[in-house]
Every structure is written in C-alpha cells, then in structure tokens.
Amino acid sequence: MPTPVLSLADPVVNAEGSLDPLGLTSLADKIADIMLPGMTARMSWPRFLTAMAVSSVVTKSLDDRANDGMTPPYLVFEWYAIEAYAKSDSGRGNNLLRVPGIDKARTALLEGCPMSARRYLKTPTVFGYHGVYKTLARALDIVDGELSLGENGRRLLNAWEREQKLEGFTDGNSGAGASLRKHLKIIVEDGIKKGHTVYNSRWRFFNDYLLPDKPSRAERRLLWELLVNDSGGIRGEVYQLMRKPQIIADFSHRAGLGDEDQLLNRMKRHASQKLDDCLSAIESYENLCRILQNGFDWIRYTSSSQTVKPTHMVDCSKNIVPLANKLRSTIKKTQPAIAALNSGLDTELDQLVAAFSHVRDSNDFFEALLTRHKNVQDNKPPEGKRQWFERTQDGGVIIRAFRLDDEPDGGNYYVHRYRLAAVAAFVANLRGGA
C-alpha cells in the first residue's frame, strides 16, 4: 500500500465553517445555475476547456494512478501544464491571474522542485483547472463525467489542431500532431511512474499551444458559439448583453472585482422576460440576504467590541431595529419573485423564511438570527461545526470565532456573486471570436 502523500498547505480553510454562517448561499447558487448553467465564479480562462479536451485524448488509455497512489493521469497532465504556465509567466507580469494552482507551481520552481501531489493543491480534483472547469465542460459536451471526449470536444480539438498545424493530434494516426500526442503520453507516463513531473523539452508544448490567455481564432469562434447556443436558456443572452460597452463599463473582470448589482441592473433594461424574471429574483433575494447578513454582522461586531462582556440585543439595537422593521415586507416581495422562476426554488426559500416567520420586533430578530446560525452550523457536514458565539445564561452572546473588528458599513451591495465576473473574463478573452 503506497505511503500517503500530504500536499503542502493551501491558504487556510477554517474547519469551523467560515463561509455561509446563515445558510444563504445554496439558493443563490441555484438561481445562478438558472442564469448561467455550468459556470462558476472561479472561472476566468475559457481555453482551459481546450486543455481538458487535449488532456482527454492524451490520457484516455492510461488507467494507472501515480506512484503516490492517489493522482489520476489527467492530474499528472495538469501538473505539467501548470508547471509550464508558471515558467511562461516569468516576466509577463500578471497575465495569468486566477490560473488554478499557479502559485503552487511558482513556489515549486523557486525551490527547484518538480510538481507532485505534495507540491500541488491539497484538493486538486476540486480546485485544479479540471475541477474548476469540469461543470462547464460537461454542460457544453466537451467532456463527459469521466472526462472522455464529447462531440463538441472533438469539434474543438479539430479546430485547434487545424489552426495550430497539428494535424493528426485528435485521431493519433499520422502527422505532426499525432507524433506530438505520443510524446505527451510518454511524459505523462513518466510522471505517473515517478510521482512527479519529469523535465522534458516537451513542456514547451503547453506554452506554444495551450497558454490560457492565447486561444486561437478558431477556438474563440467555436467556444463563443457553444456558450451562446443555450438551447432555450438564457446563458447565451447574458453573454450577448455582456458584450455591450454600456453594460460592462467600469467592471474589472481581471481582478474579479466590480459591483454585480450594477451589471444586473443595466442588463434589466435590455433583458427578455425570462432573463428579467431571473434578474428580479436575484435582486429580491439579495435584498433579503442583505438584511439577514447585516443583522448577523452587527451582532458579531458588537460582541467583538465588548470583548468578554456578553452582548444582548439592546447593545446593538440602534442597528438591529431598522433591519427588523424591514424584514417582513422584504420577505413578501421576495416570495413571488422566486416563485416566478417556476423552478421549485420557492420551497427552499420557504424553509429559510420559516426561520424568521415569527419575527415581530428586534428581540425576535436577534434570537432568530442566532437560532438560524446554530441550526446551519449543526447541519454542516460531516458532523456539524461549532457556533461562532457562546451563549450566556442571561441570553447574551460572546463571540468565540470570526471576530468582526471593523464596523459593518450597512451597504446594499449583494451578499453573493452571480458569476458575472467569470462571464466578463470569458467575453474579454473570446473577443474577436464572436
């Protein structure tokens, strides 16, 4: 039995559940799935879809895992790609921002180490580029659930190999592409046997033919076609609208920054009824989420400010009362907006609303927020997470984790992201292919 291999630590992910303390994210993600199926907020570079198609044909007959006993062939291929991108990025500034795992690869290069399970991401099947882009690759039929080449993946490879003058790469029979494919298979096999990348001049393949920020015109054209052709959905409409300068103005997609609420409001002026319903649902739901999150944050901030003194509702009433007063009317506006999607999400909203249905005043709101947080933490896998507060006998709270030392600004910005930064990055990268 192989000895377990531990990855070097990724940025800290706290075991107590630092994200989503009120259980609001699931419904936001499902609304986003209606608007942008297959997309996730982590995406930036559509050419990783081509890289996945290339990996699929190179590794399709390789069944063995690397000698660490864990890493499948497609991840060994990914090691080589990310290592090559890190080498390429030297002197290019920040051209490859948001490439999964590239910081790990840069560190390995500085230390003179090859890429391996230990040097790469702790959960590469989720956070590596195959993991990040797999949902979209499947939605577009580039690969299937087993990462085998789909029909559109074959179309994409054919377009790529013609423009790169790598004939024969897809079928592997003859030509410059077929020869290169065989050599790539050999270096992946070497990586599998040794459990790490092996220096080979073929690493230049990734920088010559698969740099994330250098898709060919044929790739851009076909990827745009696949993204816009949404078979009756609204993803294509969102992509088309995001090309309009008056909508995308002042949005920094490269850094993943910008106010998505402004983008969505601009889109509403041009949206079809189906898209408008989705945008209205997002706006209504985010108004509700903002009230709940602001209330929770004021409890956190007040408790953080009072150190060991328990926090009661009266201590933060100045900020809690206005939120409690708006809660019922906001719920009444949110329910029909979610129901208009005809997607069954109103049932999930009802479960959230039930936690606050009894709220009549700020005292009720204070207790409802803490009870909701407790229930959410108790139900987080695998065996629940601890609450961020300790309750005192007199009904107060003392914060024990995730202090909030900066006063909440009380803004109306969205609590959740709806993948528009990813769309904006795709649109910019595929410009000229539409």
First to last CA, the chain: 51
Residues 306 and 392 in one domain: yes
122 with 197, same domain: the answer is yes
Is 189 found in the same domain as 136?
yes
Structure tokens, 382: 């695998």
- Using alpha carbons, select from 17, 129, 3, 125 the residue that is nearest to residue 67: 3
Residue 281 and residue 218 share a domain = no
Rounded to an integer, what is the distance from CA 308 to the centroid of its chain? 37
Cα–Cα distance, 139 to 188 (Å, whole number): 27
Please name the residue that has the structure tokens 């890289």. Answer: 51
98 and 219 part of one domain: yes
Read off the pTM: 0.89
Domain assignment present for 284? yes
pLDDT tens per residue, range 214-246: 999 999 999 999 999 877 689 999 999 999 988
Looking at the fold, whether 189 and 58 belong to one and the same domain comes out as yes
Please say which residue of 229, 260, 294 terminates a domain: 229
Number of structural domains found in the chain: 2
**Residue located via tokens 């609450």:** 387
167 and 76 Cβ atoms separated by less than 8 Å: no
Over the stretch 369-418, which tens digit does the pLDDT of each residue have?
999 999 999 999 999 999 999 999 999 999 999 999 999 987 778 999 99
Distance of CA 279 to the CA centre of its chain: 20
pLDDT, tens digit, 9 for 90 and up, residues 41-66: 999 999 999 999 999 999 998 877 77
Q: Which residues pair with 149 in a beta bridge?
A: 143
Q: Is residue 13 part of a domain?
A: no
* Single-letter residue type at 175: G
Listed residue (257, 279, 256) closest to 268, CA to CA: 279
Residue 390 DSSP code: E
Q: Which of 176, 197, 229 is the last residue of a domain?
A: 229
Report the chain (434 residues): mean pLDDT per 10 consecutive residues.
Answer: 44 53 97 95 96 96 78 95 84 72 92 94 95 97 96 97 95 92 93 88 83 94 93 90 87 58 89 96 97 97 91 95 97 97 94 96 97 96 94 94 90 88 92 64
Range of the domain at 63: 38-229
Which structure tokens are listed for 303?
Answer: 């408790």
Residue 253 lies in a domain: no
Is residue 130, in this structure, part of any structural domain at all? yes
